[in-house]
Amino acid sequence: MTVPARNESDYITPGGTYREKFLSLFPNFLTDFQNNITNSHQTWVFRFNTQFSEMLARLLQSLHQQLPTNLSRIVEIQMESLKILPQVFPETAMLELPQDQYRVLSVISMYMGKNNGIKWPYYFITGSGGTSKSYIINLIINMLAQRRSNYLLLAPTGVAAQNIGGRTIHSELRIVSASGGFYTQAYADEDLKNRLKTIDTIIIDEISMVSAELFDFVSGIFASLHSNAIAFGGINVIVVGDLAQLPPVTGQHVFRAAAWTLFYPLFLRIPQRQRTDVRFYHMLEEIRMGNISQTT
């Protein structure tokens, strides 16, 4: 690791990745690194669990006179079931990712940025259910946080937004439906306008549920805020989802949007949720595409 590289071949093999090259040169690095950080990772998870338990205990203690014991226990069980702890990523995450996830994260990390002939701001991450789209979103958020990026994490519905720790498109951008289209308070509210101007990256999950009309409207908001005619004002936009899943309630499919053709697709192909039952995964894929075989 102390020998300076002379050319690109020192970093990567033809058809391979930087990660593969590195691990081939240092085969024991990953195992040693995993052993060194295991305790640290477990400590963080334990700390978050402890903090949640302490807050829940204080809440129940404050209500003990109003709630009978059996009802207090029910509330405790329900609160535990709703617990969502902050994602704790091991420092070895990039070295352990499957090939498709590694490629997606590498492209976003190296090439996402203002269009200058090398970098590109628009990406569409897609894959069927169970290919870790939500996990990739969390990794990207972690990367953006490390870069001190100002980002928006959006989704079309409240449930989808809650699943990723974000907000709905309508609530975050103060959008309301109007006859013949949409209206936003982003132009009238100076605080909101100034905050949105500082955003450099937008992430939208469950993109299949966003209509083409809403997608282009959001694009127009940021173009107007940045006083240009570029889609989304030229800032980074990552949309995530599976176009074979739920469509928008009203309006056209999102791929009919004028801005959609700008988005570079990145595919997640390796099943994670059903990785121990490949046969079941292939059955789900047939159902997803409406092409059910006789065997299924």
Give pLDDT tens digits for 155-209: 999 999 988 889 999 999 999 988 778 999 999 999 999 999 999 999 999 999 9
| Cut 0.85: pTM above it | no
CATH classification at residue 243: 3.40.50.300
Give 122-162 pLDDT, tens digit per residue. Answer: 999 998 888 889 889 999 998 999 999 999 999 999 999 98
Residue 145 lies in a domain: yes
Tell me the mean pLDDT in the region 80-96: 66
Residue 164 lies in a domain: yes
Contact 245, 101 (CB under 8 A): no
Q: Which of 245, 171, 237 is nearest to 204 (CA)?
A: 237
**Does residue 213 sit in the same domain as residue 111?**
yes
Looking at 88, 123, 139, the residue that finishes a domain is: 88
Q: Which of 86, 148, 143 is nearest to 112 (CA)?
A: 143
130: domain range? 97-267
Give 34-72 pLDDT, tens digit per residue. Answer: 666 666 666 767 777 788 888 888 888 888 777 777 787
Quick one: pLDDT at residue 219?
A: 97
- Where does the pLDDT of residue 4 fall: very low under 50, low under 70, confident under 90, or very high at 90 and above? low
**Number of domains the chain is built from:** 2
- Beta strands, E only, 107-263: 122-126, 151-155, 167-168, 175-178, 181-184, 201-204, 236-241
Question: Alpha-carbon distance 209 to 224, whole Å?
Answer: 24
**Does residue 127 sit in the same domain as residue 11?**
no
